[in-house]
Amino acid sequence: MINGSDTAFVLISAALVMLMTTPGLAFFYGGLVRRKNVLSTMMQSFFLLCLLSVQWVLFGYSLAFGPDIGHFIGSLSWIGLKGVTMAPNPDYAATIPHLLFVTFQMMFAVITPALITGAFAERMKFVSFALFSLLWATFVYDPVCHWVWGAGGWLKLRGVLDFAGGSVVHITSGVSALAAALMLGKRRGFPSEQLPPHNMTYTLLGASLLWFGWFGFNAGSALSANEIAVSAFLVTNTAAAVAALTWLVIEWLSAGKPTVLGGATGAVAGLATITPASGYVSVDSAIAIGILASLFCYTAVVFVKQKFTYDDSLDAFGVHGIGGIVGMMATGLFARKFINAAGNDGLFAGNFAFFQEQALAVGAVILYSVALTYIFLKIIDMLFGLRVNDEEEVMGLDHTQHRESAYTLLD
Amino acid sequence: MKFVIAIIQPHKLDAVMKALDEKEIYLKTVTNVLGCGRQKGISEVYRGVREAGNLIKKVRLEIAVNDIYLDQTIEAIRSAAQSGKIGDGKIFVLDLADCIRIRTGEWGGEAIG
């Protein structure tokens, strides 16, 4: 039975998640790059919104959520959304139109490949980026989505819990980002030269929009305007706030001053980490999860990256990859049935088996994402090359990939 | 004719402009610049990466003057821009080969105005 308030809520949540890609991620990443690359960075997010919106309704949804094949992928019987109507699909959401579930999930499919763009910022050819993203969305995102959320998906059948996309969105994109960063190589001048963010106000604006949109991402994943949605909303906010404060404290102690970038990054790390746990944990657990998020992500971004000097330019791995992994394991620790009867009890309630399944999911998703990312980038490199040439990189991608200037110096 | 370039602290610009106006030296060009002297600059930190800053914001003032006004100009700038601390800046004096007023086509000392 279609419920009006559930439908209204999920409609708005879908719009909130769309906001996370553009303007959220576009500004968050845009402010972090140099001014000569800001448009190309924002273009990547905007373009993926357009590209994946079409891919999803043509065949992405069918592959991700369609009738199961081998517990690995959905079939193409819902190609072009054939057979998908307003009538609710009880496998997924019993009180909202099936087409609304499609719409809501679409926004997740849109933002996930956009997260990866942070790894290869300021140096990837536009055509290669577009082709890679399309292949990745179809052969990494759609299958993994099926494994964890699709009816018959093998991880779902094993009882793996991922409320809003810790594995499906953050681990897939985060580890693929690391693979991409390593395969594309470092930007010219990294790490010896200074490549500071050109506009920190954009980054803070983007982070704020991400936080706002994340309420749609997490609370909306309840697919109903119910108590789970309320709980998810509150724990999301709590984790984000605690993670931001934790990052600021760590930064104050270790680098000398709390920075705006640190606060924004900490908040996003907290949001990524709470994502899989958001429908299963209490507010107290969310505080702990927020602290863990910043402890691990700060270590990855500041210490590990500097030690190994890989150029994950905008910390897609350090924030989303690590955040997703920590979040999935935190779900295995902190989940409680009294928060969500459809969830499970975690390790801290004595349930080791579930914790193990979470670890299995993390491992499987990492291996698969990295392997396919590697293969796709290798192929595209042979066809088109991945990086712009040295001269184009120095001139900037706005001008060389798009023939545009973000800011005119004269009128 | 002389061309005076002064690099001063940005927060001293108002005082310098006022001092020059009092001496009836009205024609100036002002730009934002980055610069450093013997100070090492201010470093900034982005996600743990310390950017070794060496350049600090300054303001560059450019004024063309006839020789008889040179001393007043320098004195106006120096007294208004001075704070006694490191970073006050410098004034450079160049010989000016010529000066043309675009509107009227006047050359030389009259064009400096």
Q: How far apart are CA A110 and CA A55, in angstroms?
A: 9
Output the furthest CA–CA distance in chain A (Å, rounded): 66
Q: Mean pLDDT, to the nearest integer, of B42-53?
A: 79
pLDDT for residue B37? 78
- Residue B43 confidence (pLDDT): 77
Select the CATH number that applies to the domain covering B2-112 from these four: 3.40.228.10, 2.60.120.10, 3.40.50.150, 3.30.70.120: 3.30.70.120
SS3 call for A331: helix
Least confident of A244-248, B29-33, B44-48: B44-48
Confidence of residue B46 (pLDDT cuts 50, 70, 90): confident
Instruction: List, run by run, the mean pLDDT of 10-residue segments along chain A (411 residues).
Output: 97 98 97 97 98 98 98 97 97 97 98 97 97 98 98 97 97 98 94 89 98 98 98 98 98 94 97 98 98 98 93 95 98 97 96 97 98 98 96 95 90 73
For residue B40, what pLDDT is reported? 67
Report pTM. 0.93
Nearest to B47 among A194, A256, A302 (CB): A302
For every residue of chain B, which 3-state class applies, written as one string? CEEEEEEECHHHHHHHHHHHHHCCCCCCEEEEEEECCCCCCCCEEECCEEECCCCEEEEEEEEEECHHHHHHHHHHHHHHHCCCCCCCEEEEEEECCCCECCCCCCECHHHHC
Segment holding A69, helix H or strand E: strand A68-69
When the pLDDT of each residue in chain B is averaged and rounded to a whole number, the result is: 90
Q: Is the pLDDT of residue B41 over 80?
A: no
In angstroms, rounded to a whole number, what is the distance separating the alpha carbons of residues A311 and A182?
Answer: 7
Q: How many A-B residue pairs are in contact by the CB < 8 A criterion?
A: 31
Instruction: Report percent pLDDT > 90 for chain B.
Output: 66
Whether B42 has a pLDDT exceeding 80, the answer reads no
A-chain residues near B50 (CB < 8 A): 255
Is B102's Cβ below 8 Å from some Cβ in A?
no
Domains defined along chain A, listed by start:
4-86+93-402 (1.10.3430.10)
Q: CB of B44 within 8 Å of any CB in chain A?
A: yes
Which pLDDT value is given to residue B38?
75
Residue boundaries of the structural domains of chain B: 2-112
Cα–Cα distance, B45 to A262 (Å, whole number): 10
Residue type, A304: V
User: What's the Cα-to-Cα distance from A348 to each of A163, A282, A336, rounded to whole Å?
Assistant: 19, 13, 9
Question: Does residue B113 surpass a pLDDT of 80?
Answer: no
Contacts of A306 in chain B (CB under 8 A): 48-49
